[in-house]
Amino acid sequence: MIERITAYGHQCVTSKHGTTLELTKDKNMGWEGHCIVGVKSDKSCHDLSDGLKKAIKEGKRMIIKLKSGTASDIIIAYGHPRLTLKDRKDIVIRKSGFVDDRTLAVHANKSSNSLDRELVRNLKNPRQKLEIVIEY
């Protein structure tokens, strides 16, 4: 099964956070948001399909593909039974096992600081689209 999410870059994207990666529905972000790689997301945790939510709560493995322009990267992460997926604004992927309403996946093999640097450069452009495909 596949879930698609679309977000956009922002001039404040730094992608320096060592443990998380975030997408937000917010239109803007500040320089302190080192984990944010996309704004104006068309989905939050709350908006995900029932099929993906079920797979996440069963602890399934996810392949999360990020693409912007000609650059791309892949993250492997896992669901967890304690994930609530209730947040109406954000999606967070974590290297740790921390769980909250914003968490989509835990025990990821990458965070924002380990993404392909060409992808990050593309995401510094507010007009650049970020396409996320989650395979589960």
Full set of structural domains in the chain with CATH:
2-135 (2.60.120.630)
According to the model, what pLDDT value does residue 133 have?
98
70-121 pLDDT per residue, tens? 999 999 999 999 999 999 999 999 999 999 999 999 999 999 999 999 999 9
**What DSSP assignment string belongs to 84-132?**
----SSEEEEESS----TTEEEBS-S--GGGS-HHHHHHTTSTT-EEEE
User: How many Cα atoms sit within 13 Å of 22 on the Cβ side?
Assistant: 24
